[in-house]
Amino acid sequence: MSTQLRAVAFIPARASSKRIPDKNIRPLGKHPLLAYAIRSALDSGVFDAVVCATDSELYADIARHYGADVPALRPAEISADRSPDIEWVRWMLSELAARGRLYDVFSILRPTSPFRKPHTIQRAWQAFTADPRADSLRAVSKCKQHPGKMWVLRGQRMLPILPYCIGTTPWHSSQYAALPEMYVQDASLEIAWSRVALEQNSIAGESIIPFVSRDLEGLDINEPDDWWLAERKISLEQVRLPDVHLPPYVRPNDKEQSLG
């Protein structure tokens, strides 16, 4: 636990996922996806609190089973699929402050990156606290599809997104190895000062530390193919999920049926 800075981990878990219905509580291995983010946050020892930001009482019950706090349910107006993160982050910080719980730093650990381990969070925390002048830290992974070869369509024509050249050769006609390295945010981990969200209305600010994910730390499960890949990697023992030393969550109705 932090001895100087008070830090809170937010685990966002909306109940209205469309591409993979109920993905945040869908079982991966023995536990729902949500469990791995919660346990990694708790086991990292970095945070003074681990809070699940959800709009569902079922999700809240599951989160509490795995050790997270759910002080209130997210209002529907900030839980839509197009609701920006800053809305629920500010709401969550305000809800906690109203209960006398003030935090210097917040982190967002999304359940859709199940291979983020406690040591991943510890490594990111060390990088963030080593540079107090930065506004935030954000996880990134090296691009596999270079944006220099991406296009935007305009009717019957298309234009390169990045109209740069190496000498006289456009990026889109250059070899990948000749292009500058590019990174994409992988959504697995973010850390920021609470004042950045409250005063600048931003979860990132302007001065951002890059945190380069290793191996599958940054894998983001959003599509059915992503889920298949995660299960495949686990079955081939190419990757391990974080340890969860708790019995799997059982819904109350299932408990009653088993007793009957």
Q: What residue spans define the domains of the chain?
A: 7-139+184-259, 144-180
Read off the pTM: 0.91
Could you read off the pLDDT of 58-98 as tens digits, one per residue?
999 999 999 999 999 999 898 888 889 999 999 999 999 99
Average pLDDT over residues 123-150: 96
Asked if residue 1 has pLDDT above 70, the reply is: no
Could you read off the pLDDT of 164-222 as tens digits, one per residue?
999 999 999 999 999 999 999 998 999 999 999 999 999 999 999 999 999 999 999 99
How far, rounded to the nearest angstrom, does the alpha carbon of residue 43 sit from its chain's CA centroid? Answer: 17
Average pLDDT over residues 1-12: 83
Question: What are residue 237's DSSP bridge partners?
Answer: none
pLDDT band at 259 (very low <50, low <70, confident <90, very high): very low
- The CATH classification number of 7-139+184-259 equals 3.90.550.10
3-state secondary structure at position 184: strand
Sequence-ordered list of residues with C-beta below 8 angstroms from that of 85, at least 6 positions apart, any chain: 12, 108, 203
Number of H helices, E strands in the chain: 7, 12
